[in-house]
Amino acid sequence: MLNIADTMIVGIIGATGYAGAELVRLLAGHPEITKIVPASVSFQGERIEEVYPNFQGVVSAVLLKPEAAVDKADVVFAALPTGVGEAFAKACMEQGKNFIDLSADFRFDDDEATFTAWYGKPYIYPELRQRSVYGLPELNRARIRELAVRGPLIIGSPGCYPTGASLGIYPALSLGIAASGAAIIIDAASGVTGGGREPSRSFHYPECADSLAPYKVGAHRHTPEISRNLTFMTCASSSPVIFTPHLAPMNRGILSTIYIPLAEVCRLEQRAQPRPPAKAVTERAEEIRERYAAFYEHEPFVRVLPKGGIASTGRVRLSNFCDISVHLDQTGTMLIIATAMDNMVKGAAGQAIQNMNIIYGFDERAGLTAPPASF
């Protein structure tokens, strides 16, 4: 039973939400963690294994009030709605403790105007952004390490949609494969766990089962986060982003299909004939796939699939992997990237743990090495 205090104690505020419970599940198997201190406002005083019976015999703990988790832990995770976690982050900084936030509160650094425009609220403690860093390791690992040695750190863990989209686009922009300034289209579908544990009509089983539908078309709040990531990738003004999310009738997973116009130097020659031969398209697609694979060669959780592979949510379920497959349209002018990941792991809890591992100098894969479920 993992309920003995020793050296590395982790606090989880919001431990009874989907992302919070996933943090409990994954941290219970982390080799460096000796105690989990879960906190919950809604279930305070109950036991975590009573709220989630799957933890019976694995994790045993009383759900405390959030302030107690901050006081007792060495590092604190917050799986809370946006706009709630700043006070806990402030308390952690005052006590010299790292704070890893899964909401949007710290994803925009000091850009309060963008945050307020999309989330409808100002920063409560804007000075905290001096100690915060955006936590997508594949983009920002060096910066996380640099700041971690200077004192307690706040991690703004990325959104699930921006993670899948950004990882799919990053090589195309960084390697000059994408046409400069051209619009990038992202169609993404997420499982219903992305909406959280609190019930609502749109996530009610009869409403979403056997149905696929877009939502917040042209106005989803993850759009500016994706745009900021693209700007980071290019160190210049980002390409326009057209992002449309969809609610899919599945519990877990995010599949993103990304359309990226190719730079002229990457396009197939079309002057001699209206459509290039299939062999030429296949060869060019494989060339770009190999460049993607080399780009992510040393990333432990990004898998560029072999030739002929197609990214699928079922093949990353319960894992921290993001699978990427590379394709071209039949004209050889449009790069089509598919990315798949578990929205509750690489899109939330797993990525947060990955950030903790970086901060403390643990093996970045610690607690996250289980392979995806087979079915």
Q: Any idea which residues carry the catalytic annotation?
A: 160
- Listed in sequence order, the DSSP H helices in the chain are 18-27, 48-51, 66-72, 86-94, 112-119, 137-148, 160-174, 205-208, 223-234, 278-295, 350-360
What are the φ/ψ torsions at residue 153 (nearest 5 degrees)? -130, 145
Q: What's CA 315's distance to the chain center, in Å? A: 17
Give the whole-angstrom CA distance, residue 212 versus residue 244.
13
Instruction: HSE, CB side, 13 Å, CA atoms: give it for residue 350.
Output: 25
| Cα 303 from Cα 207, distance rounded (Å) | 34
Comparing C-alpha atoms, which of 158, 188, 298, 313 is closest to residue 250?
313
Task: Return the residue matching tokens 């899919």.
Answer: 248
Q: What is the C-alpha to C-alpha distance for residues 150 and 224, in angstroms, rounded to an integer?
A: 29
The residues with which 335 forms a beta bridge, in sequence order, are: 260, 328
